[in-house]
Amino acid sequence: MNDSDRSARRAFLGLGSNLGDRRRLLIEAVQALPDVVGVSSVYETDPVGGPPQGPYLNIVVEVRSDRTARDLLERSLELEAAAGRTRRVRWGPRSLDVDVLWVDGEEVDEPDLRVPHPRMLERAFVMVPLAELAERWKPAAETLDASGVRCLGPLFEQDA
């Protein structure tokens, strides 16, 4: 094990899209993320909050990295910008949304970043795919109403 392996820790990012070619946008974001070690199945989900809008495709990605939550947020914002995301309406439709959900051993409570994500335990569209990648989150996922969360299978065709 080298020094970089010792400092690597698990982190989970939630990705969603409900504008444009939703699957393509998720694939491109995953391919542009550093240190990916796992990708959940794709779930089509009903929107939560905000104005009337179409359904989302959601996934959770696991990375193993020495990057901080702040570093992951910066990369997430870059990915959103590259996908053409504009922030006009809170909880409105978006080409790409990337949230830092959890980083092993790190808690952040700042105006623009809270880790663990403050609403993840309430959202089946986060917890169901997260539970695929991390056994520790299965009990929390099982307590949620997941009726609006529909599994569409793997993100990448070769995973099928």
Q: For residue range 94-135, list pLDDT tens digits in order.
A: 889 999 999 999 999 999 999 889 899 999 999 999 999 999
Length of the chain counted residue by residue: 160
* Cα 41 to Cα 155: distance, rounded to the nearest angstrom: 6
Q: Is the pLDDT of residue 30 over 80?
A: yes
Residue 99: active-site member:
yes
Domains of the chain: 3-159 (3.30.70.560)
Q: Which residues contact 156 (CB under 8 A, 6 or more apart)?
A: 27, 39
Strands (E), the chain: 9-17, 36-39, 42-45, 56-65, 97-103, 108-110, 113-115, 149-153
pLDDT at residue 46 in the model? 87
Cβ atoms of 92 and 2 closer than 8 Å:
no
Exactly one of 85, 145, 150, 159 is catalytic; name it: 85
Exactly one of 94, 104, 112, 145 is catalytic; name it: 94
Q: Is the pLDDT of residue 4 over 50?
A: no
* Cα 75 to Cα 81: distance, rounded to the nearest angstrom: 10
Strand, coil or helix: 85: coil
Give the global pTM. 0.89
Cβ neighbourhood burial of 141 (10 Å; 0-12, 13-18, 19+) = buried
Nearest alpha carbon to residue 13 among 158, 154, 110, 113: 113
Exactly one of 97, 104, 114, 145 is catalytic; name it: 97
Residue 97: active-site member:
yes
Residue 85: active-site member:
yes
- Pinpoint the alpha helices (H) of 44-151: 69-82, 124-133, 138-142
- Stretch 18-30: mean pLDDT: 95
* Cα 119 to Cα 107: distance, rounded to the nearest angstrom: 14
Looking at the chain, the whole-number percentage of residues with pLDDT higher than 90 is 69
pLDDT at residue 67 in the model? 92
